[in-house]
């Protein structure tokens, strides 16, 4: 197969989460519910931020973008799985598989970068409150979003294009419910050295640098908060970071467990469970975390529902 770069597989088979028909029915209802809750919850977050002038700040601008990316990330994987359950077919065309891989890498990368940007926003707000409005300007927010999309798009394009050089021969069963890049690289009958090199270098940029930025930001934030003399001031400062820290822990904790744990501990089942966490569970939990722990968001949601009830 050396020197051959033609793909001989026209479609892949997504093995999904189980082969038991009774479990499939239960999983279909579960993931359909999770998908609807994710879409509705994140959409409400976006609508509340757009319609409430009090939330027209950098923090909520980034949160609205995060909610949009969460909807997109879940839509990349879950609907195809639901269709497979309904039709009984598990196949996905080669082009469809590459497209799903591209968008999955794009939106997971954006999720990570946005969490890093939000940590920087919290750092400026807590450590330099007097200069916050002049340092985190609308122009800077727009620039950060353009940079976020450009970085995530470049990473996704690089890895997706590199995937097209591989041959898959007769190996086409993907041990997951979507076309995960790691799973595809294990199926190839070509040499995936370049792909792994890109995954560990270019692919690490949207994950590693935001994670380091979050660690640095919160180290400086905690140091600044500890210098606040009043207990009330400390609680108020920590409360503004609580929601973001909860989402960061959920997102990066899952990714580290799946992608950065020792190779010897990897199993198809463990990777699939991890994929469920960051493709379905985390996007669903984000709206609850931000609405439950945030007084301004709860007030905006109440106002949004009040307006809807008034119109009805």
Partners of residue 12 on adjacent β-strands: 92
Domain presence at residue 156: yes
Residue 288's nearest CA partner among 296, 297, 280, 279 is 297
Q: Would you state the structure tokens that stand for residue 106, as one six-digit string?
A: 């794009």
Predicted local confidence at residue 1, as pLDDT:
42
Domain presence at residue 281: yes
Predicted local confidence at residue 31, as pLDDT:
94
Domain presence at residue 121: yes
Domain presence at residue 244: yes
Give per-residue burial for 189-219: e unless 16+ CB within 10 Å, then b.
ebebeebeebbeebbebbbeebbebbeebbe
Are 144 and 59 in contact by the 8 Å Cβ rule? The answer is no
Distance CA 126, CA 231 (A): 15
Predicted local confidence at residue 114, as pLDDT:
96
pTM value surpassing 0.85? yes
Are 1 and 167 in contact by the 8 Å Cβ rule? The answer is yes
CA dist 204 to 98, 154, 207, Å?
A: 19, 12, 5
Residue 67's nearest CA partner among 88, 35, 99, 38 is 38
Predicted local confidence at residue 258, as pLDDT:
67
Give 115: exposed, middle or buried? Use CB within 10 Å, 0-12, 13-18, 19+.
Answer: buried
Strands 91-93 and 173-174 turn out to be: unpaired
CATH of the domain at 119: 1.20.1070.10
Strands 173-174 and 11-14 turn out to be: parallel
Between the two ends of the chain, the Cα-to-Cα distance in Å is 66
Range of the domain at 125: 11-311
Strands 11-14 and 91-93 turn out to be: antiparallel
Partners of residue 92 on adjacent β-strands: 12
Domain presence at residue 5: no
Domain presence at residue 6: no
Predicted local confidence at residue 5, as pLDDT:
44
pLDDT tens, the chain, 312 aa long: 444 444 467 899 998 888 777 888 888 999 999 999 999 999 999 999 999 988 999 999 999 999 999 999 999 999 999 999 888 889 999 999 999 999 999 999 999 999 999 999 999 999 998 999 999 999 999 999 999 999 999 999 999 999 999 988 877 899 889 998 988 998 998 899 999 999 889 988 999 999 999 999 999 999 988 888 877 777 777 777 878 888 888 888 877 766 666 555 556 676 777 778 878 888 998 888 887 767 788 888 888 887 766 665
Are 61 and 144 in contact by the 8 Å Cβ rule? The answer is no
Q: Would you state the structure tokens that stand for residue 152, as one six-digit string?
A: 């995530």
Mapped onto helix, strand or coil, the DSSP state of residue 33 is: helix
Distance CA 76, CA 284 (A): 14
Q: How many domains does the chain have?
A: 1
Predicted local confidence at residue 101, as pLDDT:
96
Mapped onto helix, strand or coil, the DSSP state of residue 92 is: strand
């Amino acid at each position: 197969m050396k020197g051959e770069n033609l793909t001989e597989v026209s479609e892949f088979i997504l093995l999904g989460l189980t082969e038991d028909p009774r479990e499939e029915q239960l999983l279909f209802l579960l993931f359909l519910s999770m998908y609807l809750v994710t879409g509705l919850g994140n959409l409400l977050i976006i609508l509340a931020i757009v319609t409430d002038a009090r939330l027209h700040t950098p923090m909520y601008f980034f949160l609205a973008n995060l909610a949009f990316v969460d909807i997109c990330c879940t839509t990349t994987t879950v609907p195809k799985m639901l269709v497979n359950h309904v039709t009984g077919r598990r196949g996905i065309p080669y082009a469809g598989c590459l497209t799903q891989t591209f968008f999955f890498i794009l939106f997971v990368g954006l999720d990570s970068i946005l969490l890093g940007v939000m940590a920087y926003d919290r750092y400026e707000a807590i450590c330099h409150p007097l200069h916050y409005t002049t340092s985190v300007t609308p122009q800077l927010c727009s620039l950060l979003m353009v940079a976020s999309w450009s970085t995530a798009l470049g990473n996704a394009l690089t890895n997706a294009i590199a995937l097209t050089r591989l041959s898959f021969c007769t190996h086409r069963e993907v041990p997951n419910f979507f076309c995960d890049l790691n799973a595809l690289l294990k199926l190839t009958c070509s040499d995936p050295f370049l792909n792994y090199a890109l995954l560990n270098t270019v692919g690490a940029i949207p994950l590693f640098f935001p994670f380091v930025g979050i660690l640095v930001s919160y180290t400086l934030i905690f140091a600044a908060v500890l210098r606040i003399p009043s207990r009330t001031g400390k609680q108020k400062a920590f409360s503004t970071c609580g929601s973001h820290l909860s989402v960061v822990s959920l997102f990066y904790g899952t990714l580290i467990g799946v992608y950065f744990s020792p190779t010897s501990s990897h199993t198809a089942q463990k990777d699939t469970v991890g994929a469920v966490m960051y493709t379905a569970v985390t996007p669903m939990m984000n709206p609850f975390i931000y609405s439950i722990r945030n007084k301004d968001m709860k007030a905006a949601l109440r106002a949004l529902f009040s307006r809807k009830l008034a119109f009805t």
